[in-house]
Amino acid sequence: MRTIQIKTNDAGQRLDKFLQKLMPAMPKSMLYKLIRKKDIRLNGKRCQGAEILSTGDEVRIFAKEEFFTSSQKTAQSPFLAAQGKPDILFLCDHILVAYKPSGMYAHGGENGAVSLLDEIQKYLYNKGLYLPEQEQTFAPALCNRIDRNTEGLVIAAITAEGLRTMNAAIRDRLVHKHYLAVTAAHLPEQKATCTAWLRRDERTRRVTVTDEPADGSKRIVTQYKVLAQNGNLQLAEINLLTGRTHQIRAHLAHLGAPLLGDPKYGGNDMREENQCLCAHSLTFTGLSGTILDTMNGLTVRAPLPDFVRRYFPEYQES
């Protein structure tokens, strides 16, 4: 039997979701059976699993020890391999915005590669803002992600409440994302809002864009504006009105203007060191009255990426 005291970063979520994180080895069917049999109690009373937890709540669990996660030991944490020096452009009590260089994984680096999330967690650990041994189910997490070979701004949550609030803002389209891209051919117009349908192939990890709906496809809307031109190359600002996997890369290629340096959607002759795409700015709206009130109306802008200076040396941001 275990008695769990709900801490600040555990509060605000459903009891059953908390229990799934606390006991990931336990099948869901067994978890709900324990709830039905009253082997899991909330504040000494029978529960259903849908209750929203509050700080200070007491959860009593009658289950074998093998189902509980082992206590988090800092010495075993994978983020310790990071240097803890992410390029942070904004920081408050609940949220930070960091710049991810091209070539770095946003999270879950393969073959032991350090990811941006590792760097962020190590930074917070060094600052005493993240103490794994004191957390039961929470760890700082990313709110948005960008491809490994895309550079630019990524939002991370320092607290669970910050994570919930920012995720809701992103879901409600209150966070406006703008990208800079270099295309290898001219876009159809100088400025346009384009609608198409995108379908993802899980086997090949590629997406296909069509002008008409197809089985399994989802509607996408991409807005662009040409900022500069250098021969066949164009510098464009991209605004995503929907957010789908590889949307910018695949949609621009569908329009006949693939990203420079993108072999997946532009062909093998497009290969360069990096694809020329940067998540350049984030504007936060609709956060008034939330714990992220101070971010309402804030715009975070990344430095002008090197690929812009390389191909458009005379370009200056307005």
| Alpha helices (runs of H) in 37-154, residue ranges in sequence order | 116-126
Q: Tens digit of pLDDT per residue, the chain (318 long)?
A: 899 999 989 999 999 999 998 998 899 999 999 999 999 999 999 999 999 999 999 999 999 888 886 544 555 578 988 999 999 999 999 999 999 999 999 988 777 789 999 999 999 999 999 988 888 889 999 999 998 999 999 999 999 999 999 999 999 999 999 999 999 999 999 999 999 999 998 888 899 999 999 899 999 999 999 999 999 999 999 999 998 989 999 999 999 999 999 988 886 555 556 789 999 999 999 999 999 999 999 999 999 999 999 999 999 987
What pLDDT digit, counting tens, does each position of 224-250 carry?
999 999 999 999 999 999 989 899 999
Q: What pLDDT, on a 0 to 100 scale, did the predictor assign at position 273?
A: 60
- Nearest Cα to Cα of residue 222 among 188, 260, 171: 188
> What is the percent of the chain with per-residue pLDDT over 90, rounded to a whole number?
76
Letter string b/e over residues 100-112, b meaning 16 or more CB atoms within 10 A of that residue's CB = bebebbbeebeee
Spatial distance between the Cα atoms of 118 and 156, rounded to a whole number of angstroms = 11
pLDDT per residue as tens digits for the range 63-115:
988 888 654 455 557 898 899 999 999 999 999 999 999 999 998 877 778 99
Give the distance from CA 15 to its chain's centroid.
Answer: 24
Q: Which helix (H) or strand (E) holds 60?
A: strand 58-61
Phi and psi, residue 279, nearest 5°: -75, 95
Which residue type is seen at 84? G
Residue identified by tokens 């990203």 is 259
52, two tokens: 């929203």
Give the containing element (helix H, strand E) for 155: strand 151-157
Q: What is the 3-state secondary structure (H, E, C) of 225-282?
A: EEEEEECCEEEEEEEECCCCCCHHHHHHHHCCCCECCCHHHHCHHHCCCCCCEEEEEE
pLDDT at residue 270, rounded to an integer = 52
pLDDT score of 71: 47
The enclosing H or E element of 199 equals strand 191-201
Residues sharing a CB contact under 8 Å with residue 109, sequence separation 6 or more, in sequence order = 115, 118
What Cα–Cα distance (Å) separates residue 176 from each residue in 172, 179, 238, 302? 10, 10, 11, 14
This model's pTM is above 0.75: yes
pLDDT on residue 141: 96
Rounded CA-CA distance 196/210 in Å is 6
Residue 281 phi/psi, 5° resolution?
Answer: -150, 150
Alpha carbon separation from 214 to 19, 158, 244, 249, 256 (Å, rounded): 39, 40, 16, 19, 20
Domains in the chain with CATH codes? 2-67 (3.10.290.10), 81-133+150-171 (no CATH), 178-280 (3.30.2350.10)
SS3 308: helix
- Give the separation between CA 87 and CA 284, rounded to whole angstroms: 20
* 3-state helix vs strand vs coil in the chain, percent to 5: 25, 30, 45
Q: Which of 62, 56, 26 is nearest to 43 (CA)?
A: 56
